[in-house]
Chain A
Amino acid sequence: MSAYLDADPAESTTEWTQPSLKRWKMFRLVGSILQLLVVAFLFEMLIGVSDAIGAPLRLFLFTVFMAGVAVRAGWLSMIAIQFSLLLQSPVRGQLAQVATGFFWVMVAMLTIISAMKLPRAHRSVTDYILKSAGLRKQTSDTKQTIPLSVVSLAVQLLQLTLAVVFAVVILLNIPIGRQSGRWLQSSVQSGQAFWPGTLWLVLLVALFVVARELTWRKIDGKQASVYLRSVQLIANYRDLYRFDRERHKRQKRESDAIPPTPLPTSTQTATKRSKLLKRNAKDMTDSKGAT
């Protein structure tokens, strides 16, 4: 047993050399500030297309955007960009803007995503640089050496590009703005569907059904059991609740029917107790007769 208790203590997975610790902290601090500046510059570039927004509003939007970065809430940053677009982009613009706006949207989406991932990406990048420079050692336990793998980066970039490309295709194909009148004319003449969105609608519904089915098939046996229970409970809840309430009432009635008999505090109260018991018994018989 002693051999078992005296097992080898753990090894730390990461080791630091004493002089490198300060440098590492400084490096990380400077890196953070630099990355924040880059993101801020990108945002300014995005909303600074025209001077449609006044300085106070621009400052407000910048604050909202940076707040999103600080709390890692990408949606907040996106709202800031959307709001700036709402204020400055031309109303009833040309459809050609959709195609030309491709790169702008790509940059905007990349900015939002990088703002969301800033702390984690920053940690990975600085760790990678420190390890490469030999300031931080890695033991054999941890095999990871690439901060953001090339595959992951490629997947993310492809995912974003595809999303934007599909968005462009969809917007170019659905009848919005001036296109809608022209499309209505042609569709009435050809006697086809009243709205071309039917195809899109069917696709959307199909996609929704598939997604829901896939999500549903992910559940395990325990979850299925909980689901069945909850369905049964929902179906019979009112009846079961009524039964339960009735049962409680009956139990309460039964417990009330037997009056509590106080215990005698001394030998002198024994006679009092017997009188009390007799009186209780009489009350019970009276109440039964009355009912």
Chain B
Amino acid sequence: MTFQAQAFAIAGLIGLYAGLIRGQNVLSLLSLASLLWIFSEWLLFFIQVRFQLPRLRLARLVNGEADSNRSLWAERSLDVQIQWRESVRFHAATLEVMDVLPENLEVLYSDKGVGSNNSSIDASSLRRVKHLQPSRSWLVSSFHRFVDRTVDEMPNKRSLGTGEWENGWRYQVRVRSAGNVVFSGFRLTFESTHGLFRYEKFEKCEQSFRALPSFVDSGEYRSLTKKSNVIPRHGIHRLLRSGMGSELLELREYMPGDPFKSIAWKVSAKRDQWMIRQYESEVPARVQLIVDGSSTSRVGGFGARLLDQMTFVAASVGRMAINSGDPVGVAVCDERGIRRLPPMSGEKGFQILLRTLSDFSVNPSPPPCALNQRMIDAVWALLSQRFPELLDFKVNQLPFFFFPVFPGSRGRFRLRFLIVGALAEIYGLSTQEQVALIHNDHAFARRIQVLLNASGIPWIAPVVASAESQDREPIGRLSQLAECISSVVGHARDNEVIVVMSDLLNCVSVLEFLLPAVKLAVAKHHRVSFVCPTTTFQRPYPSGAFRFSGTWTADDLLLIAEQSRLQIQAEQLQRELHRCGASLSVSGEKNAIRLILSELDAVKMGRSKSQGALR
């Protein structure tokens, strides 16, 4: 029974009473008629809920397929089609169906849907819904909403009016980041014709996909120093590319860092400039990728996490290295421990690498956090969306209690009772545990965190306290990273490229816990490169690069302030790492990829210093 129905009933009862007392027959008749009309509305609604609604069957096709357990790609669009398996026409009610989407998906809206005869939607022409609405004044937008209520409708939601029916609808979404994509089901809101009664239900229709990280495989990202990039054909084992073999490949100009023994003296004398002999490579250079997925790199929405930048760089480097025949290994470490995969090559190896990165991108259980109101609001919203039937006052009843007395506190306490009742049903808790959850803030917060995390909510403010609080103990994180590097070095052969991807910008003061492992790797003739992702997704600007512009906004100024902070931290970090013989790239995904490719080239050509060691 909605508020509308309750208000109608109260007005009807009062009107009936007043009419009978004062002997105003028409008033009595109107009031009584309205009460009977509400009752008939309920009766019709009940019949439809009881007998018609269970016949409704919905199915979802993702990219034209109904089965799940397949792979999707991050940052690409998906075509989702919803079908009514058995269409039911409701003559005295309206139905709203919403496909509940995981947080890892972003709904796309078609520009070309309006004002175009082209029936197909190009993925490149899709843009986000929130940017579609032009800015309007409150009055204009209110009137617009009154005239056309379809404006606020989302593509993943569909309303069927009284007597309407259809076969289904389609919409498009974009995968934000690597990890899991779980379509949980449909939220059905069934309402009587005049909105007096409402029934909400969550229809399970689970489809689970693994989202693989996106990568680039373009010539734009090739290192300038790498001249030959030929994949050996089947049956030919000699690698026709520059390296430290015995067969001469080509002559080229000298570049700083090239070994003196490779100088072609006669040719240099003839051309009057330093020339270098390049030999064929006999041994492929190995790349070892180390990805640090600690708490700091997982905080934030999907697609905006530092981890997403790292997986992108790792996948891109893996693709390019495997394309040129270099085996790629990966080691991942976080609170769950260290996992290492030996270097692999070929398409199969690349698929294993992607799957490993994808599984690693799934957020583990978040670190414990104190209970706060935002957390309660978040879990209430989630439960209302996915478990509306468990929050019904009729079934989730509350005991009588005196305290708290004040209405606000009392309301919050009742809300907590309801949430705990639903949580107890979801996790099968005993009544004793239920009472403990009601009165123990810590246990309640922990259970909420688990539910939010299991429901695919990213590590945002309600789930974890904040990024800063997670960064209080960088020593343990660096120690684990050092252990991971040592493990990789222990299993590596000579002269490999070790790429460490970790958020180190806030750990400059405690870097001594990491540096011994780096020194060990360098001492064993490996090349060590660090990639530090940044929250701004950009390389820090060089000092003094800012010139005042009259059009700067507050956001621009905040970005500049953040960039300045990053610049200082990056300089300190670079200084420390260079002392140990490691190179550093601070975000700039393209630059990070270029740096690693340059290091790879340097290993193949035996140069002591890589070209394009960008920071």
Closest B residue to A112 by CB, please name it. Answer: B34
A252 adjacent to chain B (CB < 8 Å): no
Q: Give chain A residues whose Cβ lies under 8 Å from the Cβ of B161.
A: 120, 124, 148
**Chain A, range 38-96, C-beta contacts under 8 Å to B:** 70, 72-76, 78-79, 81-82, 85-86, 89-95
B137 adjacent to chain A (CB < 8 Å): no
Say whether, besides A4-B70, A91-B24, A166 and B36 are in contact (CB < 8 Å). Answer: yes
B610 adjacent to chain A (CB < 8 Å): no
Closest B residue to A158 by CB, please name it. Answer: B40
A291 adjacent to chain B (CB < 8 Å): no
Q: Could you tell me the distance between the alpha carbons of A66 and B161 in the complex, rounded to whole angstroms?
A: 24
Contacting pair A170 B32 (CB below 8 A) = yes
4 additional contacts (CB under 8 A) given A160-B37, A163-B40? A18-B116, A74-B8, A105-B30, A142-B169
Q: Give chain A residues whose Cβ lies under 8 Å from the Cβ of B44.
A: 155, 159
Contact with B along A140-162 (1 / 0, CB 8 A): 01111010110110011001101
The 5 A-B residue pairs with the shortest CB-CB distance, nearest first, are: A149-B163, A10-B170, A75-B7, A163-B37, A7-B63
Contacting pair B397 A91 (CB below 8 A) = no
**Chain A, range 7-56, C-beta contacts under 8 Å to B:** 7-18, 21, 25, 28-29, 32
Contact with A along B430-448 (1 / 0, CB 8 A): 0110111001100000000
Contacting pair A214 B168 (CB below 8 A) = no
Which of A188-196, A238-246, A280-288 makes up part of the contact surface? A238-246
Query: Dominant SS at the A interface?
Result: helix
Q: Give chain A residues whose Cβ lies under 8 Å from the Cβ of B11.
A: 75, 78-79, 82
- Min CB distance A116 to B, Å, is 5
Contacting pair B431 A236 (CB below 8 A) = yes
Report how many residues on chain B are interfacial, defined by Cβ distance under 8 Å. 102
Closest A residue to B142 by CB, please name it. Answer: A70
Closest A residue to B64 by CB, please name it. Answer: A7
- Min CB distance A48 to B, Å, is 15
- Min CB distance B155 to A, Å, is 9
Q: Could you tell me the distance between the alpha carbons of A75 and B606 in the complex, rounded to whole angstroms?
A: 84
Say whether, besides A167-B29, A177-B23, A233-B399, A141 and B169 are in contact (CB < 8 Å). Answer: yes
Contacting pair A10 B146 (CB below 8 A) = no
A5 adjacent to chain B (CB < 8 Å): yes
Tell me the B residues contacting A by CB distance below 8 Å. Answer: 4, 7-8, 11-12, 15, 18, 20, 22-37, 39-42, 44, 46, 49-50, 63-65, 70-73, 76-77, 79-81, 89, 91-92, 94, 110, 112-117, 119-123, 146-150, 161-172, 193-195, 389-390, 392, 394-401, 421-422, 424-425, 431-432, 434-436, 439-440
A205 adjacent to chain B (CB < 8 Å): no
- What would 30 A/B residue contacts be, using CB atoms closer than 8 Å? A5-B76, A7-B63, A9-B121, A10-B110, A10-B121, A15-B116, A28-B147, A74-B194, A78-B34, A82-B11, A91-B24, A98-B28, A104-B26, A141-B169, A152-B91, A159-B92, A167-B32, A168-B29, A171-B32, A176-B23, A177-B23, A219-B394, A219-B395, A226-B390, A227-B396, A229-B425, A229-B434, A232-B431, A234-B397, A240-B431
Contacting pair A105 B26 (CB below 8 A) = yes
Contacting pair B395 A1 (CB below 8 A) = no
Q: Could you tell me the distance between the alpha carbons of A102 and B398 in the complex, rounded to whole angstroms?
A: 45
**Chain A, range 237-290, C-beta contacts under 8 Å to B:** 237, 240-241, 243-245, 248
Say whether, besides A9-B122, A225-B425, A233-B434, A141 and B23 are in contact (CB < 8 Å). Answer: no
- Min CB distance B526 to A, Å, is 34
Contacting pair A74 B4 (CB below 8 A) = yes
Contacting pair B421 A155 (CB below 8 A) = no
- Min CB distance B21 to A, Å, is 9
Contacting pair A8 B148 (CB below 8 A) = no
Q: Could you tell me the distance between the alpha carbons of A141 and B166 in the complex, rounded to whole angstroms?
A: 7
Say whether, besides A167-B29, A167-B33, A151 and B91 are in contact (CB < 8 Å). Answer: yes
> Which of A85, A124, A170, A177 has the largest number of chain B CB atoms within 10 A?
A85
A11 is contacted by which of B30, B76, B119 (Cβ under 8 Å)?
Answer: B119
Q: Give chain A residues whose Cβ lies under 8 Å from the Cβ of B15.
A: 82, 86
Contacting pair A240 B194 (CB below 8 A) = no
Contacting pair B27 A86 (CB below 8 A) = yes
Q: Give chain A residues whose Cβ lies under 8 Å from the Cβ of B150.
A: 123
- Min CB distance B365 to A, Å, is 24
A164 adjacent to chain B (CB < 8 Å): yes
B79 is contacted by which of A7, A72, A105, A227 (Cβ under 8 Å)?
Answer: A7
Contacting pair B193 A152 (CB below 8 A) = yes
Contacting pair B81 A10 (CB below 8 A) = yes
Contacting pair A123 B92 (CB below 8 A) = no
- Min CB distance A83 to B, Å, is 9
B389 is contacted by which of A112, A152, A211, A220 (Cβ under 8 Å)?
Answer: A220
**Chain A, range 101-160, C-beta contacts under 8 Å to B:** 101-102, 104-105, 108-109, 112-113, 116-117, 119-120, 123-124, 139, 141-144, 146, 148-149, 151-152, 155-156, 159-160
A98 is contacted by which of B25, B36, B91 (Cβ under 8 Å)?
Answer: B25
Closest B residue to A228 by CB, please name it. Answer: B395
Say whether, besides A16-B115, A73-B4, A176-B20, A159 and B40 are in contact (CB < 8 Å). Answer: yes
Contacting pair A10 B26 (CB below 8 A) = no
Q: Give chain A residues whose Cβ lies under 8 Å from the Cβ of B162.
A: 148-149, 152
Q: Give chain A residues whose Cβ lies under 8 Å from the Cβ of B31.
A: 82
- Min CB distance A63 to B, Å, is 17
A86 is contacted by which of B18, B146, B431 (Cβ under 8 Å)?
Answer: B18
Q: Give chain B residues whose Cβ lies under 8 Å from the Cβ of A230.
A: 395-398, 421
B425 is contacted by which of A120, A167, A226 (Cβ under 8 Å)?
Answer: A226
Say whether, besides A10-B121, A151-B91, A226 and B422 are in contact (CB < 8 Å). Answer: yes
Contacting pair A10 B171 (CB below 8 A) = yes
Q: Could you tell me the distance between the alpha carbons of A16 and B15 in the complex, rounded to whole angstroms?
A: 48
Contacting pair B26 A89 (CB below 8 A) = yes
Contacting pair A141 B168 (CB below 8 A) = yes
Q: Give chain B residues whose Cβ lies under 8 Å from the Cβ of A185.
A: none
Q: Give chain A residues whose Cβ lies under 8 Å from the Cβ of B116.
A: 15-16, 18
Closest B residue to A142 by CB, please name it. Answer: B166
- Min CB distance A105 to B, Å, is 5
A182 adjacent to chain B (CB < 8 Å): no
B397 is contacted by which of A104, A105, A222, A231 (Cβ under 8 Å)?
Answer: A231
Q: Give chain A residues whose Cβ lies under 8 Å from the Cβ of B422.
A: 226
Contacting pair B25 A159 (CB below 8 A) = no
Q: Give chain B residues whose Cβ lies under 8 Å from the Cβ of A166.
A: 33, 36
Say whether, besides A73-B4, A211-B42, A229 and B166 are in contact (CB < 8 Å). Answer: no
- Min CB distance A77 to B, Å, is 10
Contacting pair A143 B25 (CB below 8 A) = no
Q: Give chain A residues whose Cβ lies under 8 Å from the Cβ of B168.
A: 141
Q: Could you tell me the distance between the alpha carbons of A223 and B407 in the complex, rounded to whole angstroms?
A: 28
Contacting pair B169 A70 (CB below 8 A) = no
Contacting pair B71 A9 (CB below 8 A) = no
Q: Could you tell me the distance between the alpha carbons of A8 and B78 in the complex, rounded to whole angstroms?
A: 10
Q: Could you tell me the distance between the alpha carbons of A216 and B290 in the complex, rounded to whole angstroms?
A: 58
Contacting pair B148 A28 (CB below 8 A) = yes
Q: Give chain B residues whose Cβ lies under 8 Å from the Cβ of A168.
A: 29
A215 adjacent to chain B (CB < 8 Å): yes
Closest A residue to B122 by CB, please name it. Answer: A9
A224 adjacent to chain B (CB < 8 Å): yes
Q: Give chain B residues whose Cβ lies under 8 Å from the Cβ of A108.
A: 30
Q: Give chain B residues whose Cβ lies under 8 Å from the Cβ of A171.
A: 25, 28-29, 32
Say whether, besides A11-B121, A74-B8, A223 and B392 are in contact (CB < 8 Å). Answer: yes
Closest B residue to A11 by CB, please name it. Answer: B119
- Min CB distance B145 to A, Å, is 9
- Min CB distance A127 to B, Å, is 10
Contacting pair B20 A17 (CB below 8 A) = no
Q: Give chain A residues whose Cβ lies under 8 Å from the Cβ of B117.
A: 15, 17
Closest A residue to B434 by CB, please name it. Answer: A233
- Min CB distance A226 to B, Å, is 5
A97 adjacent to chain B (CB < 8 Å): yes
Contacting pair A15 B119 (CB below 8 A) = yes
Contacting pair A91 B22 (CB below 8 A) = yes
